[in-house]
């Protein structure tokens, strides 16, 4: 369960203008909610005609458990009201605002809510620049701001910001990535360390947990000639297209058949099948707080999915306390290397 679902200040603040009467929901009930999250007020206020867009699988799953219909990518149509919960990455948020303005109907409005401590002033100024002005209130240590009916949108700026969501090439054109993904513009130091010490004798079926844009999977394919099958598990749907493109390119580099799939999944909910080897650079935080239970859940699900004799290779921040979880699930656990604040661990013999 992602944090904030029971006390989500940005979500609560988003609906304040509707509670005060400053804004009203459209008569036809049609609302597009970009980066929607589950919460009491959302459940209380929802009407038929709401489209909930959420590309992060744990949040999407929480919405579905509450009875919402959820899409990873919203339909290309217009709505009289577009609600937005921006992200912390500025360029990703600019693309989100541009998309919201593109999908709001003539005379409609876009409403956004951002915690003060997470760039509310910056986000408000960006939407102001795009829409020619906004109305703003403050509540729950957040800013809620919305466009004016009939806003004159800066079309050139909107097109430029829409382009910020397109796949981009990084690392000397070797990989395709997308703004807002983890370490989107570089090879993550921890993943690179894992790739450096990865053995070349991995074989058979492999899973990459928390695959991002697919760097580790590509390294496995480049280094391990006996791998015949690889599945990439990734919670953020925006990563799936770049990951698929990168793995397709890696497969094309080698003259051998390799089956692969890119899966939009919350790893903590379990894996789809059994594997001979699993590689992972698991997430360890949500927001600003370390949450080692995420990494522990990845370890548990990896152990559940490995065949007898299978192996887990993972990398983690050196201070994270994963050893007890690993020891409880594996017979052999060894730290292969420690460097630059990270540790690479090999675990064999599932208990």
Q: Could you read off the pLDDT of 299-331 as tens digits, one per residue?
A: 999 999 999 999 999 999 999 999 999 999 999
Quote the percentage of the chain above a pLDDT of 70. 96
pLDDT tens by residue, 33-49: 999 999 999 999 998 99
| Torsional class of 218: left (φ above 0), alpha (ψ -120 to 50), beta (otherwise) | alpha
| pLDDT score, position 291 | 72
* Superfamily designation of domain 168-350: Vaccinia Virus protein VP39 (3.40.50.150)
Q: What is the pTM of this model?
A: 0.94
pLDDT at 7: 60
pLDDT level of residue 285 (50, 70, 90 thresholds): low
Angle of helix 90-103 relative to helix 120-131, nearest 10 degrees, comes to 40
Q: What fold, for 9-164?
A: Rossmann fold (3.40.50)
Looking at residue 290, what is its pLDDT? 59
The 3-state DSSP class for residue 348 equals strand
For 86, 157, 248, the CA distances from 114, given in Å and listed in that order, are: 7, 21, 38
Give 351's contacts (C-beta < 8 A, 6+ positions apart).
303, 328, 329, 330, 331
What is the rounded CA–CA span in Å between residue 76 and residue 78?
Answer: 7
H or E stretch at 134: strand 134-139
First to last CA, the chain: 26
Look at strands 342-350 and 330-339 and give their pairing. Answer: antiparallel
Say yes or no: do domains 9-164 and 168-350 share a fold. Answer: yes
Q: Where are the domains of the chain?
A: 9-164, 168-350
In degrees, rounded to 5, the angle at the alpha carbon of residue 73 between the alpha carbons of residues 53 and 237 is: 95
pLDDT digits (tens, 9 = 90+) for 151-209: 999 999 999 999 999 999 999 999 999 999 999 999 999 999 999 999 999 999 999 99
Residue 148 DSSP code: P
């Amino acid at each position: 369960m992602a944090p904030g679902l029971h006390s989500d200040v940005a979500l609560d603040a988003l609906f304040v203008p509707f509670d005060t009467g400053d804004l009203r929901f459209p008569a036809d009930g049609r609302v597009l909610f970009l980066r929607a999250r589950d919460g009491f007020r959302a459940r209380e206020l929802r009407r038929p005609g709401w489209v909930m867009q959420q590309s992060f699988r744990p949040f999407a799953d929480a919405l579905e458990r509450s009875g919402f219909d959820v899409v990873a990518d919203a339909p290309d149509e217009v709505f009289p009201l577009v609600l937005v919960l921006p992200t912390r990455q500025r360029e990703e948020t600019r693309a989100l605002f541009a998309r919201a303005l593109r999908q709001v109907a003539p005379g409609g409005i876009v409403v956004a809510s951002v915690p003060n401590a997470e760039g509310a002033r910056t986000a408000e100024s960006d939407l102001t620049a795009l829409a020619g002005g906004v109305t703003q209130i403050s509540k729950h240590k957040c800013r809620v701001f919305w466009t004016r009916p009939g806003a004159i949108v800066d079309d050139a700026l909107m097109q430029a910001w829409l382009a910020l969501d397109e796949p981009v090439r990084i690392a000397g054109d070797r990989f395709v990535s997308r703004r807002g993904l983890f370490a989107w513009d570089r090879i993550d130091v921890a993943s690179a360390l894992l790739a450096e010490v990865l053995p070349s004798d991995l074989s058979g079926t492999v899973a990459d947990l928390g695959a991002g844009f697919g760097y580790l999977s590509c390294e496995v394919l480049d280094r391990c000639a006996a791998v015949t099958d690889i599945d990439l598990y990734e919670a953020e749907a925006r990563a799936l297209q770049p990951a698929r493109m990168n793995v397709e390119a890696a497969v094309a580099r080698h003259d051998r058949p390799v089956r692969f799939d890119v899966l939009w999944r919350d790893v903590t909910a379990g894996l789809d099948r059994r594997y001979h080897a699993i590689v992972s650079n698991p997430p360890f935080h949500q927001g600003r707080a370390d949450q080692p239970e995420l990494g522990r859940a990845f370890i548990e699900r990896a152990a559940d999915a490995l065949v007898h004799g299978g192996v887990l290779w993972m990398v983690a921040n050196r201070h994270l306390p994963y050893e007890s979880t690993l020891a409880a699930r594996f017979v052999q656990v060894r730290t292969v290397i420690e460097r630059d604040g990270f540790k690479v661990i090999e675990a064999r013999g599932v208990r």
